[in-house]
A and B are shown apart, each in its own frame.
Chain A
């Protein structure tokens, strides 16, 4: 396939995955804030930390109020990662590769975009914009976003050949997902507890639980572990081999997609992107949660992000530029 097309497919999927993650982040945080009332006043800023866009946020807004954070992450046109912007860009990418995807896939994405545009119109025209309540039905909106992302995945799975286009889709989707999982885990690092004595308290557990929910992982986690425990949660989200949002799972999927793209499984010559992925996957295999906590979770997550960036760069170098 054309390099340009491969790149657009890759990004289209990254943007969709990003929009889905954002919608979950916001929703979970919103639910959490309803549970906590005003016990913890500044629990919205960590959300912005999770997205890595704090600098931009602080430039645009004076305080991390719920409304500001929600606006920043949903419809803000100046934020290239807001749900609306992700959708616009995903659709623009889809338009440039329209001939490579199925009509039903395009229709799902196009209708999704038009729907978000309608929501945005209602949101922007709402007179409560600067009041202190969220004027539109936020939960309904976020759930629409999630469902639409999932129909897009389902539709691609069922309507296009699982050839190169598909495999580049997976690369984009899983690279983005791995990145977001590290950020979700890292969220706890940015959440301040009222005091150190609160470690292990109800509030602490509630926060860990909402973190699991942000990765849409609490149900699968509950099947495997008996209680909410930070070490177990980190183990589940980093090293689990079957949960689709764990780092290990994502890297494994990428390795497989890269193998299918190059047609080379074992042995040489592999390309640089494949090498980087395999090396990293082997490293993950040799690790356990104790060694990770010994290093410090936050530092370890930083490390993963560096690895992911490295793999991303190799993909660009190998397939998108020539």
Chain B
């Protein structure tokens, strides 16, 4: 039995309890995997990878061997979230999105939360995601964050925490959908037996959420991509295709009389709703960065006048600033009068004197991250760093304390993972996707990212991470 010598001690493992027994939700999967055996599992894993290659779900690596196309590493052992846990996660995520949305409305509007001194005003104004151009803005139906990818992790005791909010252009939902298709082909017997909540209708939810942003009947909808060289290009075209909408680049769009048009073979055609997958400040050279090569001049003004709807709204970046993140529990309490259902990871703000002192003295035990870093860049993992790296990072922090936060090193939960022809434990996180339209929809499951290097806690695909299918049962 090749899973037998798997060890899950001193950690929360998704499949096994600390006494080494499989958890109830994994019972069937474990039995099935064992009866298949290692050789069969490797065989199925190889054919799953081949299917992903055929579908061209790849990213390109540039190195000394020239260009290499790779699939995002995909592990065939699923990560299962039991339904009772999911119910509370779903509630917690809805609560969080609702509060963050009220927060955005407030800080670009009346600013009550600042007047009431729940959050210091300069915390907001010094955030690079805060766009003063958005002050006074009223997005359609008062919704700012239409699409969210929230990163969740378990602590050593197995409790879920929010690690960060991604409120601008969260990526990865296409992998969730493609992984699921491949898993259905790879393990039909598991899908026949288990009641796995489906995810295939996400694009329909996304589309109807986008339609909800306008009163135009039969609106023209487009996904706006920076282009084919963007690392998430596959996802952009995937979503456009599944929704049956246009995929446009900046050069396909033009603004005339404060309306947005796309250039078609039959002349200009008005665009009503845009799901933009391009950063705020690159959207419009006349309102934001004048050096953007990707933007469309005048689109922000067209948006302000209500002639085009944008998802997510510009300016949402202030709410996923990692410093503002530390205030989210207070934000939930302030706007909803409720306790947060999913807690934050304890966070130290380097801009706060005592916190800064603590961080500088304990950097070897902490994870320190830049407030606006992403993709595993601009961070240091204390216990895995050298003395010199720690000293260098301290200088960075001291030079710009507002830009750094620190958190204890979390012992992320693990899931058995097929490494070569053996099962080993690997750390995972979870990114569910949430859509805010007429109602708030939480996709059951989400993207489980897995750190493929032994012992590594870094799950980002840009750092060699892979993914697993996530199953919510029942």
Q: Judge if A98 is at the interface, Cβ distance under 8 Å.
A: yes
A2 lies within 8 A of B228 (CB)? no
A1 lies within 8 A of B264 (CB)? yes
Given A106-B56, A114-B53, A6–B265 Cβ distance below 8 Å? yes
Q: Judge if B248 is at the interface, Cβ distance under 8 Å.
A: yes
A319 lies within 8 A of B237 (CB)? no
Q: How far is the CA of A106 from the CA of B56 in the complex (A)?
A: 8
Q: Which residue of B lies closest to A318 (CB)?
A: B265
A110 lies within 8 A of B240 (CB)? no
A4 lies within 8 A of B249 (CB)? yes
Please give the distance in Å from A269's CB to the nearest CB on chain B: 14
Set B55, B228, B268: member contacting A103, Cβ < 8 A: B55
Q: Which residue of A lies closest to B58 (CB)?
A: A110
Q: Judge if A58 is at the interface, Cβ distance under 8 Å.
A: no
For A1, what are the chain B residues with a Cβ–Cβ distance below 8 Å?
264-265
Set A99, A107, A164, A322: member contacting B241, Cβ < 8 A: A99
B263 lies within 8 A of A98 (CB)? no
Q: Judge if B247 is at the interface, Cβ distance under 8 Å.
A: yes
Please give the distance in Å from B368's CB to the nearest CB on chain A: 38
Produce 1/0 per residue, B240-276, CB < 8 A to A. 1100001111011000000000111101100000000
For B267, what are the chain A residues with a Cβ–Cβ distance below 8 Å?
322
B55 lies within 8 A of A107 (CB)? yes
Query: Could you list some 25 contacts between A and B, CB below 8 A?
Result: A1-B265, A3-B264, A4-B251, A4-B263, A92-B228, A95-B228, A95-B233, A96-B228, A98-B234, A98-B238, A98-B247, A99-B238, A99-B240, A99-B241, A99-B247, A100-B241, A103-B55, A106-B56, A107-B54, A107-B56, A110-B54, A110-B55, A114-B53, A164-B265, A322-B268
Q: Judge if A111 is at the interface, Cβ distance under 8 Å.
A: yes
A4 lies within 8 A of B237 (CB)? no
Q: Judge if A281 is at the interface, Cβ distance under 8 Å.
A: no
Q: Judge if A54 is at the interface, Cβ distance under 8 Å.
A: no
Known: A96-B237, A98-B241, A103-B55. 5 other contacts (CB 8 A): A1-B265, A3-B252, A99-B241, A319-B265, A322-B263
Q: How far is the CA of A110 from the CA of B246 in the complex (A)?
A: 22
A110 lies within 8 A of B56 (CB)? yes
For B237, what are the chain A residues with a Cβ–Cβ distance below 8 Å?
95-96, 98-99
Produce 1/0 per residue, B360-392, CB < 8 A to A. 000000000000000000000000000000000
Please give the distance in Å from B421's CB to the nearest CB on chain A: 24
Q: Judge if A261 is at the interface, Cβ distance under 8 Å.
A: yes
B246 lies within 8 A of A2 (CB)? yes
Interface residues of B (CB under 8 A from A): 53-56, 228, 233-234, 237-238, 240-241, 246-249, 251-252, 262-265, 267-268
Q: How far is the CA of A107 from the CA of B53 in the complex (A)?
A: 9
Set A2, A100, A110, A261: member contacting B263, Cβ < 8 A: A2
Given A2-B248, A99-B240, A111–B262 Cβ distance below 8 Å? no
Q: How far is the CA of A166 from the CA of B241 in the complex (A)?
A: 16
Q: How far is the CA of A197 from the CA of B252 in the complex (A)?
A: 61
Q: How far is the CA of A168 from the CA of B233 in the complex (A)?
A: 24
Q: How far is the CA of A100 from the CA of B54 in the complex (A)?
A: 18
Q: How far is the CA of A107 from the CA of B240 in the complex (A)?
A: 17
For B240, what are the chain A residues with a Cβ–Cβ distance below 8 Å?
99
For A110, what are the chain B residues with a Cβ–Cβ distance below 8 Å?
54-56
Q: How far is the CA of A131 from the CA of B237 in the complex (A)?
A: 45
Q: Which residue of A lies closest to B240 (CB)?
A: A99
For B248, what are the chain A residues with a Cβ–Cβ distance below 8 Å?
2
Which one of B56, B233, B246 has the greatest number of beta carbons of chain A within 10 Å? Answer: B56
B241 lies within 8 A of A111 (CB)? no
Please give the distance in Å from B187's CB to the nearest CB on chain A: 21
For B247, what are the chain A residues with a Cβ–Cβ distance below 8 Å?
98-99
Produce 1/0 per residue, A1-32, CB < 8 A to B. 11110100000000000000000000000000
Which one of A1, A4, A168 has the greatest number of beta carbons of chain B within 10 Å? Answer: A4
Given A98-B237, A99-B247, A3–B265 Cβ distance below 8 Å? yes
Q: How far is the CA of A99 from the CA of B241 in the complex (A)?
A: 4
Given A99-B247, A261-B265, A322-B267, A2–B55 Cβ distance below 8 Å? no
Please give the distance in Å from A273's CB to the nearest CB on chain B: 11
For A322, what are the chain B residues with a Cβ–Cβ distance below 8 Å?
263, 267-268
Q: How far is the CA of A238 from the CA of B473 in the complex (A)?
A: 65
B56 lies within 8 A of A2 (CB)? no
Please give the distance in Å from A108's CB to the nearest CB on chain B: 10
Q: How far is the CA of A100 from the CA of B237 in the complex (A)?
A: 9
Which one of A6, A92, A99, A322 has the greatest number of beta carbons of chain B within 10 Å? Answer: A99
Produce 1/0 per residue, A134-155, CB < 8 A to B. 0000000000000000000000
Produce 1/0 per residue, A103-125, CB < 8 A to B. 10011001100100000000000
Please give the distance in Å from A59's CB to the nearest CB on chain B: 23
Given A106-B56, A164-B265, A4–B228 Cβ distance below 8 Å? no
Q: How far is the CA of A30 from the CA of B358 in the complex (A)?
A: 77
Set A4, A92, A106, A164: member contacting B252, Cβ < 8 A: A4
A2 lies within 8 A of B262 (CB)? yes
Given A98-B241, A99-B241, A3–B56 Cβ distance below 8 Å? no
For A111, what are the chain B residues with a Cβ–Cβ distance below 8 Å?
54
Q: Which residue of B lies closest to A91 (CB)?
A: B56
Q: Which residues of chain A in 209-257 are interfacial with respect to chain B, using CB atoms and an 8 Å cutoff?
A: none
Q: How far is the CA of A92 from the CA of B234 in the complex (A)?
A: 12
For B54, what are the chain A residues with a Cβ–Cβ distance below 8 Å?
107, 110-111, 114
Q: Which residue of A lies closest to B223 (CB)?
A: A99
Q: Which residue of B lies closest to A108 (CB)?
A: B54
A2 lies within 8 A of B252 (CB)? yes
For B265, what are the chain A residues with a Cβ–Cβ distance below 8 Å?
1-3, 6, 164, 168, 261, 319
B241 lies within 8 A of A3 (CB)? no
Q: 3 shortest A-B CB distances, which residue pairs?
A: A99-B241, A99-B240, A98-B237
For B233, what are the chain A residues with a Cβ–Cβ distance below 8 Å?
95
Please give the distance in Å from A180's CB to the nearest CB on chain B: 25
Produce 1/0 per residue, A38-82, CB < 8 A to B. 000000000000000000000000000000000000000000000
For A114, what are the chain B residues with a Cβ–Cβ distance below 8 Å?
53-54
For A98, what are the chain B residues with a Cβ–Cβ distance below 8 Å?
234, 237-238, 241, 247
For B228, what are the chain A residues with a Cβ–Cβ distance below 8 Å?
92, 95-96
Q: Which residues of chain A in 146-174 are interfacial with respect to chain B, using CB atoms and an 8 Å cutoff?
A: 164, 168
Q: How far is the CA of A100 from the CA of B246 in the complex (A)?
A: 8
